Amino acid sequence: MAASLLPVKIFADEATEERAENARLSSFVGAIAVGEMIKTTLGPKGMDKVLQSARGGDIQVTNDGATILKSIPVDNPAAKVLIDISKVQDDEVGDGTTSVCVLGAALLEEAEQLTKQKLHPQTICDGYRRASAVALKALEDVAIDNSGDKIKFKKDLLNIARTTLSSKVLAGDREHFASLAVEAVLRLQGSTELERIQILKKPGGRLPDSYLDNGFLLDKKIATNSPKSVTNAKILIANTPMDTDKVKVFGARFRVDSTGKLAELERAEREKMKAKVNKIKEFGITCFINRQLVYNWPEQLMSEAGIMVIEHADFEGVERLSLVTGGEITSSFDHPEMAKLGECELIEEVMIGEDKLIRFSGPKAGQACSIVLRGATQQLLDEAERSLHDALCVLSQTVRSSRTVLGGGCSESLMANAVDNLARETPGKVSMAIESFAKALRQIPTILADNAGLDSSDLVSRLRAMHHSGGDGVYCGLDLDAGEVRDMREIGVTESYKLKRQVVASAAEAAEMILRVDDILRAAPRKRDRH
Amino acid sequence: MQFKDREKPDQIRISNIVAAKAVADAVRTSLGPKGMDKMILKSDKDVVISNDGATILKHMSVLHPVARMLVDLSAAQDVEAGDGTTTVVVLAGSLLGAAENLLKKGIHPTAIAEALMTTATNATEILESMGKSIEMNDTASLLQAAQTSLSSKVVSQYSSLLAPLAVEAVMALAPPGTTNVDLRDIRVVKKVGGTIEDTKLVPGLVLTQNVSKSANGPTRVEKAKIAMIQFQLSPPKPDMENQVIVNDYHQMDKILKEERAYLLDMVKRIKKTGCNVLLIQKSILRDAVTDLSLHFLSKVKIMVIKNMERDEVDFICKSTGCKPIADIESFTEDKLATAEVVEEINEDGARYVRIGNKIIGSAVTDAPKDIVPRSTSGSTLSGSASPKTVCIVVRGSNESTVSEAERSIHDALCVTRCLVKKPSLICGGGASEIELSVNLRKRALTQLSATAFCMAAFADAIETIPFTLAENAGLNPIRVVTELRNMHAEGYQNAGINVKRGTAVKDMWDPTETHTVVQPLLVSLSAIELASETVRMVLKIDDLVGTR
């Protein structure tokens, strides 16, 4: 019997286990800490964070939830789950990354209170599940689809872009960037291939100097002496060595017994290259773009033939060009009839700031375009790119599934009211969990108001009353500039339905997942042997 | 509507502002014509002496993230306008200082940021209305702008020499109707020796490389036919590895003979086209020329200049009009360029090669007192009416002087280019800033709530520029600035500080004055816009997160 009093060792050294209350507590603490950290970045008056990397001291200034969460090192399973849902949100919709994380954390915060009141986690889960179903139903009911009416739809898109951008660094010039983003996305004609929109960052100038270029811009140089502008270009995009076709066998070498023979060999090499160039010429091209270097000799030969030569276009450049101009990347030149050439109306050099770039205007696959961003500092440009990317993501998603809902805390408030009604009708303990769900939803307008330095308790309760009164009240949200409750339709605060839906659904799912945890097992860290 | 937040964001904000102000303070004393220079000791023990804000900040190794943003800001101004790099940082520091006070009053940072944007838009409006547009052939005004830019540099006493140089160089490349000039078409060559007074605009193309003289080749060629070659005049060497196997003594003789024949053949072919100046691109794989080929070339009186960089080729071809030749087979006459003379110039211990027209008389261009129209100065390469490139040779008694002179010329070039981009001038010497501040204060009265408050504060902050100018000049800043305010209130829009005379004057533009201080509108515009953009970004930061 004495043996049973000794602790039985089940786990390996350093492996740990946290049980029941402890496990739950550590989940709550982790999730709430993450939510707390990024909640100040939410909304149009949200603040930015400086991310400073431990080595190198590189800095980023950002307002983008996904970017912040991606960069911070965490060692808490629940926090990791929240970071993951934010990542998924980024991949799926591109925006709302902060909202999803904040809502998840709010749900868990409420759950913590409920567990203190001796509610079983499973009961809470049940309540959350019912509540989220009702919330999503309510959201779907108010979603409007304007895709039939082109003018209205474009206005919707502009509103969405403006709403997304208003929380970012581009807020000051949101009109400009909103129309820029909408135009770019409409050019894609329903495709979500955002790679076709190229974003170029050039320091100098101001944000409003940024513009949409209808062509494709390549940050490379045209070779000396080849024509600097080509109209109705036929483009061959190649990935081939243009220095010399070396026999790539290790140790291969010529053995000769005189300098004359060496000279002959050198000549032969030159002739071989000339032959290759001649083959390329047979394609009937006017522009040759190579991913690798083009040496002087082939460059001269092609220039003489009136072919524009662009060397050393890197991987990304070549792939994009192939996408944009409709040409295929070619590596062998024996069958000119089989190759697909790219086409575009005009290739020319343009000067942006201090740099010269090559512009391909009027490409065959006409959907492509470039956005040139100008701004004071590299950090500003990086952040502007992230913001614009978010807007583009949301817009391209909206073009696909065109339903929209109102922002500014309006949708959340609406859902919260629907959930409240459900709570009133539901008997039993579950109703407490349902009520908590509504409270968590109201956290979003609360944080929005808090971040703007407004009296959140007053505003949110007024918002709730408006929604409860029904009628036009259900279109009310927070106007954070004026600091009052207003009809969101008037100031055009619109968000994508898909985005909102995704935020509520994945936050609820994540919260449920974390709630169901009652045991955290940590594997022993792998030992590092030093020999 | 009191703004209260947690403790941490407040501290972060304050620490950011402190860091930014520290950077601004570091360059503050170098603002203006009486500004002082900084000596920077680089980690490799090199010394840089400069008055140029962008240069100073670039060499300062700052760590704080916000301080780094200010360094970037200065670099951006350098790209955009090329001048005003100190101004922009001082301005940003001062705006942040104003923001700090506003934060203490309990105004929400985003409200301040938005007010700042309104202020910036108003400021650009005011500045634009102050701008006086000029014609591009108004060289006097161009010269004044360039001189203003140079007056704050180490080389300020030579501004009467350098300013015309810069203006002439840019104007040569800007035929009427152009809106931008690529400064890369202006080659600035630094050569230590002589004094800054020897700095000149050299007609034609200047090469920093020397003529190869080891085989007694010519160093001056008249009626030159120039070829730019990208192959080498050395024993053959295929791209693949190779080995020459020698079995006996006779074979060795044969190898040597063949090598001679090979080189001789190439030289003959070159000579046949009439070429007498050879520029050879550098190769990392093999020798450009050997003693033997040099010997042959000198025999046929061909001048050889080797070690051309590959990225130089474009510039050389553009200026001379020759085409690069990559293989002896394609060495034909039509690829050659012609010039009246190619000569190695040797003066005051500096050697460089000049390709261009013959110069009649003694000097190249004696510091032009007034600018001669391009066509009559005739310093282009023969055959082309307007030059595509310009060369400036900067001289000075030591390395740091030459470098600083080069930077100053760059600034002057940029200023002139600004005028090509946007031909409009405003008054310098703090006049535009005071006018801006006076007007902003007026406009603030029409605004409501926090915006009005912030705008007034920012209007005060802009006054830091004339304040600092006066301070650096050893004047009583309070007196000068208030005096100026009075003058502006009385309607003297162009009243500013005449630093040389040490007083406030009513009209910086007075043609009877010896020193009219004017600067391109674009410089001031971009300084205001870039500074406010950066400050807005700094204000919106509320946390510093360490990442992996």
**Residue from the list B63, B243, B327 with its beta carbon closest to the beta carbon of A297:** B327
Quote the pLDDT of residue B2.
40
**Tokens 């912040």 map to which residue?**
A68
Q: How far is CA B274 from CA B216, B217, B319, in A?
A: 20, 16, 20
Q: Looking at residues B250-261, what average pLDDT do you find?
A: 83
Percent of chain B's residues with pLDDT above 90 = 3
Number of A–B residue contacts, CB under 8 Å = 219
Residue B338 has which token pair?
Answer: 């012609």
Q: How confident is the model at residue B375 (pLDDT cuts 50, 70, 90)?
A: very low
**Tokens 């050198």 map to which residue?**
A266
Q: How confident is the model at residue B97 (pLDDT cuts 50, 70, 90)?
A: very high
Q: How far is CA B379 from CA B354, B368, B478, in A?
A: 12, 13, 51
Give the residue from chain B lying closest to A207, CA to CA: B533
Q: How confident is the model at residue A5 (pLDDT cuts 50, 70, 90)?
A: low
Quote the pLDDT of residue A104.
92
State chain B's mean pLDDT as an integer: 80
Q: Looking at residues A99-111, what average pLDDT do you find?
A: 92
- Which one of B55, B85, B416, B451 is the catalytic residue? B85
Single out the residue of B186, B181, B84, B99 nearest to residue B411, CA to CA: B84
Single out the residue of B516, B494, B522 nearest to residue B507, CA to CA: B494
pLDDT higher than 90, residue B54: no
Q: Do A257 and B540 touch (CB under 8 A)?
A: no
**Residue from the list B79, B182, B545 with its beta carbon closest to the beta carbon of A351:** B182
Do residues B454 and B95 touch, judged by C-beta distance below 8 A? no
HSE on the CB side for A201, CA within 13 Å? 16
Quote the pLDDT of residue A129.
92
Burial readout B268-280 (b: 16 or more C-beta within 10 A, e: otherwise): eebbebebbbbbb
Gap between the Cα atoms of A238 and B387, Å rounded = 36
pLDDT higher than 70, residue A364: no
Q: What are the tens digits of pLDDT across the range B316-360?
A: 887 888 888 887 878 888 888 888 888 888 777 777 888 876 654
CA distance B70 to chain A (A): 8
Gap between the Cα atoms of A322 and A7, Å rounded = 67
Q: Looking at residues B395-415, what average pLDDT do you find?
A: 85
Do residues A151 and A523 touch, judged by C-beta distance below 8 A? no
Q: Looking at residues A307-311, what average pLDDT do you find?
A: 82
- Which one of B86, B87, B516, B534 is the catalytic residue? B86
Q: How far is CA A465 from CA A125, A195, B174, in A?
A: 28, 45, 67
pLDDT higher than 80, residue A189: no
Suggest the residue from B313, B315, B327 to mutate for an interface test with chain A (most A CBs closer than 10 A).
B327
Q: How far is CA B441 from CA B377, B433, B437, B453, in A?
A: 51, 12, 6, 10
**Tokens 């009467």 map to which residue?**
B160
A-chain residues within 8 Å CB-CB of B68?
59
Q: Do B235 and A243 touch (CB under 8 A)?
A: no
Quote the pLDDT of residue A436.
93
Write the Ramachandran bin of A59: left for phi over 0, alpha for psi from -120 to 50, otherwise beta.
beta
Quote the pLDDT of residue A440.
93
pLDDT higher than 50, residue A13: yes
B-chain residues within 8 Å CB-CB of A258?
244, 251, 254-255, 258
Gap between the Cα atoms of A72 and B240, Å rounded = 51
**Residue from the list A72, A376, A455 with its beta carbon closest to the beta carbon of B73:** A376
Q: How confident is the model at residue B279 (pLDDT cuts 50, 70, 90)?
A: confident
Give the residue from chain A lying closest to B322, CA to CA: A225
Q: What are the tens digits of pLDDT across the range B134-155?
A: 877 777 888 888 888 888 777 7
- Residue B19 vs residue B239, higher pLDDT: B19
B-chain residues within 8 Å CB-CB of A260?
258, 261-262
Report the predicted TM-score, pTM, of the whole model to 2 decimal places: 0.80
A-chain residues within 8 Å CB-CB of B231?
296-297
A-chain residues within 8 Å CB-CB of B241?
251-254
- Residue B332 vs residue A251, higher pLDDT: B332
Gap between the Cα atoms of A32 and B264, Å rounded = 83
Q: Looking at residues B29-52, what average pLDDT do you find?
A: 83
The one-letter amino acid code at B527 reads A
**Residue from the list B79, B236, B547 with its beta carbon closest to the beta carbon of A354:** B79
CA distance A7 to chain B (A): 39
* Of the ranges A442-456, B180-194, B381-395, the best mean pLDDT one: A442-456
Give the residue from chain A lying closest to B5, CA to CA: A453
Q: Looking at residues A349-374, what average pLDDT do you find?
A: 76
Quote the pLDDT of residue B422.
83
Give the residue from chain A lying closest to B448, CA to CA: A482
Residues 6 or more apart in contact with residue A178 via CB below 8 angstroms: A158, A161, A162, A165, A391
Does residue B86 carry a catalytic annotation? yes
Quote the pLDDT of residue A441.
93
Give the residue from chain A lying closest to B324, CA to CA: A300
- Residue A403 vs residue A313, higher pLDDT: A403
- Residue A225 vs residue B258, higher pLDDT: B258
Q: What are the tens digits of pLDDT across the range B409-433?
A: 888 888 888 888 888 888 888 888 8
Percent of chain A's residues with pLDDT above 90 = 15
SS3 B243: strand
pLDDT higher than 70, residue A476: yes
Does residue B543 carry a catalytic annotation? no
Q: Is the dihedral of CA B329, B334, B340, B344 positive or negative?
A: negative
Instruction: Tell me the residue length of chain B.
Output: 548
CA angle A240, A241, A245 (to 5 degrees): 120
CA distance B360 to chain A (A): 33
Does residue B389 carry a catalytic annotation? no
Do residues B26 and B381 touch, judged by C-beta distance below 8 A? no
Return the HEC string of A345-364.
EEEEEEEECCEEEEEEEEEC
* Of the ranges A233-237, B325-329, B425-429, B526-530, the best mean pLDDT one: B526-530
SS3 B280: strand
Quote the pLDDT of residue A250.
63
Do residues B90 and B27 touch, judged by C-beta distance below 8 A? yes
pLDDT higher than 80, residue B6: no
- Which one of B83, B87, B411, B451 is the catalytic residue? B411
Q: Do B545 and A72 touch (CB under 8 A)?
A: yes
Quote the pLDDT of residue B91.
92
A-chain residues within 8 Å CB-CB of B230?
296-297, 300
Does residue B291 carry a catalytic annotation? no
Q: Do A45 and B110 touch (CB under 8 A)?
A: yes
B-chain residues within 8 Å CB-CB of A266?
236-238
CA distance B330 to chain A (A): 9
The one-letter amino acid code at A55 reads R
DSSP characters over B257-277: HHHHHHHHHHHHHHHHTT--E
Q: What are the tens digits of pLDDT across the range A134-172?
A: 999 999 988 888 877 888 888 888 888 888 888 777 777
Q: Do B537 and A169 touch (CB under 8 A)?
A: yes
* Of the ranges A54-58, A312-316, A448-452, the best mean pLDDT one: A448-452
B-chain residues within 8 Å CB-CB of A228?
none
Residue B340 has which token pair?
Answer: 């009246």
Residues 6 or more apart in contact with residue A171 via CB below 8 angstroms: A44, A165
HSE on the CB side for A302, CA within 13 Å? 33
Least confident of A309-323, B297-311, B468-482: A309-323
- Residue A365 vs residue A226, higher pLDDT: A226
Q: Exposure of A53 by Cβ count < 10 A (0-12 exposed, 13-18 middle, 19+ buried)?
A: middle
Q: Do B281 and A258 touch (CB under 8 A)?
A: no
Quote the pLDDT of residue B274.
84
The one-letter amino acid code at B94 reads S
Quote the pLDDT of residue A531.
59
**Residue from the list A72, A243, A265 with its beta carbon closest to the beta carbon of B547:** A72
DSSP conformation class of A209: G
pLDDT higher than 80, residue B74: yes
